[in-house]
Chains A and B, each alone.
Chain A
Amino acid sequence: MIKILYFARLKESLGKTSEDFELPYANFTVATLMTLLSSRGEAWSREFGKSGNLRAAINYDVALESSVIRDGDEVAFFPPVTGG
């Protein structure tokens, strides 16, 4: 089981802040998760599809689309940051 967190604009467009998610198999990448999430509906496909511009983090570290997600990880998706 992993935890997925959604931040900023994503919370509003997807209608949720977080969820528990069961990894279907090992060596599950960020890209695979995004493809899976994009199939959930219109807003999901807009955000997680090819034209989206989301960033990801795994356990507080910046993650790439090729990064592998492991059981127990905390994965976060968010738009490009705008602090400072």
Chain B
Amino acid sequence: MRQRRRDTGAVVSFIGQVRDINDGSNVSALTLEHYPGMTEKALENIVAQAKQRWDIFDALVIHRVGSLQPTDQIVLVVVSGAHRGEAFSACEFIMDYLKTEAPFWKKENTSAGERWVDAKSSDDAARERWTIKSSSSGE
């Protein structure tokens, strides 16, 4: 992605990884479940939206599934463009949408047993920031 276009000035990346603590409990392992078919479609859709809204050249999303351990990488988002402003915004948008729309579910192994991770309202709030508010001016 860095070299595909010679007018690429910015390459922004985000890596999400497994933490060994969540919601008050120590996490020893994580299992990522997903919905084959919808997962790919949802990620493609999110990338397409990002390309439509920001002037970027390319975006790549890789998300792992199955068993993971603390410090393992879960997700990679890379965005390339001419300038950093658009690339940073698109990368953040992609993550905020992935967190609320892509069909993955995490199950944690903790000292208190296995538990499914709950979705966070802060993720919904983060996604809401990107909603385009249309003004209803009568002029």
Contacts and interface: CB of A to CB of B under 8 A. Distances in A.
Contacts of A81: 99-105, 119
A83 B34 contact: yes
Nearest to A83: B104
Nearest to B115: A9
Interface stretch (A22-30, A34-42, A43-51, A72-80): A72-80
Interface stretch (B35-43, B48-56, B83-91, B128-136): B35-43
Contacts, number: 71
B38 A9 contact: no
B32 A83 contact: yes
Interface residues of A, number: 16
Q: Which 5 A-B pairs have the closest CB atoms?
A: A83-B104, A80-B119, A8-B105, A60-B38, A84-B99
Given A61-B38, A84-B102, 15 more contacts: A7-B35, A60-B38, A76-B38, A76-B103, A79-B119, A81-B103, A81-B119, A82-B104, A82-B105, A82-B118, A83-B99, A83-B102, A83-B103, A83-B106, A84-B98
Interface of B: 16, 32-35, 37-38, 41-42, 63, 74-75, 95, 98-107, 116-119
